[in-house]
Every structure is written in C-alpha cells, then in structure tokens.
Structure 1
Amino acid sequence: MTPRQRLDELGIELPEVAVPLASYVPAVRTGDHVYTSGQLPMVDGKLAATGKVGERLTAEEAAGLAGICALNALAAVAAAAGGVDNIVRIVKVVGFVASAPDFTGQPQVINGASDLLGKVFAETGGHARSAVGVAVLPLDAPVEVELIAEVR
C-alpha cells in the first residue's frame, strides 16, 4: 500500500504547506533527502493551541498537536519531492516541546508525530529521533517538529 493509500484509508488529508513565519523555506531537497524546517501545529493558518506542556496542556493533548506538526512536515516534504508517494522513508524526527519546568514527558509527546508517521509509512516510517524540552517556541506553540526524509 502506498503512503497516499494509507492516508486515504486513515481519512487524513495533507494540509497546504504552512507559510513560513520568518526568513526560511518550509523544506529543502538535496540529493535524495528532504530536510524540513520546524513545523508548528498550524491548522488552516492558525496555531491549534498555545502554552507549555505540563502547565496549560497535558502530554496527551500535546501528542495530538505533534501529530499535526508531523502532517505539516509531510506536506512540506511531499511538495519538495513531487508528491507523498515519492517519500521512500522517514530518516529522522526532531521534536521540541515547550515544557513546564518539572515536565519530563517529552518522548511521550513526540510519540504523537512518530506514531502518525508509522501509520502512514509502516516499516519505512521507523526513524531516529530526538525529543527536546525547551523554555518557549515561536508564537508560544507547545510543540514543533522537523524531519528528514529520503525521497526518490
């Protein structure tokens, strides 16, 4: 089954590529790899939630937002690669979690991105990953995700 077929089966539509907030591009292709810029949980051009995880949001809520970030990153990769079916595998995911001082569940939050990628890409969705707690993210977003994908 192709990534497009899995997205259809899951009832997921890739969003439009998010408009950059500053001086950068959403994704860059070099050879057989696409590197995305950090993607926020934007839905229809608006941030889906704000605040720190462990204060304003639970880890479960933030995991859902990480999934949105992953979809936005997939849209950027697909645009650079000529379509989602040209994505061969997900190589690396880096997730940033705006965390309350005592919050230590960053890996569980970024599971929201990893789990979504696994559903869409099956065995080629397995990836290396970092989940990092930070004090604050752009626009007071709770989570940000970037990824590296191998493409054809």
Structure 2
Amino acid sequence: MSKPNERLRELGITLPKVAAPAGAYLPARRSGSLVFTAGQLPLVEGKLVATGKVGTEVGVEDAYGHARICVLNALAAVDALVGLDSVVGIVKVVGFVASAPGFSGQPAVINGASELLGEVFGEAGLHARSAVGVAELPLNAPVEVEIVVEVS
C-alpha cells in the first residue's frame, strides 16, 4: 500500500491545518513510539460544521461524516508532530458522540473515523476502539475523536 501522504492524495484528501488548542493542552504528544492526540472536533477552517445531539438535531449519516472530519484533524496533529509517513499503525480510536436520549448508534457514527483510517492505512489502520455516548461535548459538537498511533 502507498504511504499515508500518497494515499491521501490518491483519495483527493488534503489534511487541514492543526486546530489551535482551546485550552492548556497540546494537539498531540509523543511518548516513546506512541503519539496520542487530543480530542478533535469536526472543525473546518476553525469553524464547527454542526452542533447538537446525534439522534435529534444531527442525523447518523451526517455524524458519520463529522467523525471523518475529526479523524482528519487528528491526523493533521500527528503529521505536524512527527510526520504522517512515520506512522506504523493506528493503535486505538476513542470516539465520543453527543447522544440524544435513547440513541444507541454510536458505533455507526464512529465508523466514519475507523473506515477512513482503513482507507488511508490499509491493514495498519486496523485498531482497537471505543464508541461512547455522552450528554455534552465542547462547543455543543456532535462528535469528538482522539487517536493513538504507533510511529517508527
């Protein structure tokens, strides 16, 4: 399979600029051979693409797309820190879904992030994952995603 940056070009995807932290934290931090990203929201050019709860104000298909945006923001943070082509594999994805009462489709939403990682990294994109429903997310975002990657 192509290197991650080549594969992104093949898919017609450009990584966004790294979002400035909204608090006292780093977008990504390396510890040994692992890089941990901060939770990433579905921001495009610094603006939240949607707000509200999945299952009422935000549909599952839209939230799936928002999870893709979140993971692209996470990959941008990894790229800025260590270079995306140094990624050996995706270790873990944690997805948070602002969920309306009774909504239990969090895995379908976070598949947006997981499937994009598979498209970019192939077998190296297979990962452990949590998809968690929460009452609220920062800025009333519908989705937030963080990743852990192994680097060379």
- State TM-score, norm by structure 2: 0.98
- State TM-score, norm by structure 1: 0.98
- Number of corresponding residues: 151
Mapping of 1:69-84 within 5 angstroms?
69-81=70-82, 83-84=83-84
1:13 offset after TM fit, Å? Answer: 0.4
Q: Return the letter of the residue paired with 1:40.
A: L
Could you give the per-residue CA deviations for residues 24-83 of structure 1, whole angstroms, max 9, x where no partner exists?
1101001111000100000000001100000101111100000000000001111111x1
Query: What SS is found at the alignment partner of 2:147?
Result: strand
Query: What SS is found at the alignment partner of 2:50?
Result: coil
The answer for unaligned runs of 5 or more in structure 1 is: none
Paired residue for 2:97? Answer: 97
Paired residue for 1:62? Answer: 63
Query: What SS is found at the alignment partner of 2:16?
Result: coil
Matched, 1:24 2:25: yes
Paired residue for 2:123? Answer: 123
Q: List structure 1 segments (4+ residues) > 4 angstroms apart after TM superposition.
A: none
Superposed CA RMSD: 0.5
The answer for unaligned runs of 5 or more in structure 2 is: none
1:14 offset after TM fit, Å? Answer: 0.6
Query: What SS is found at the alignment partner of 1:54?
Result: coil
1:22 offset after TM fit, Å? Answer: 1.0
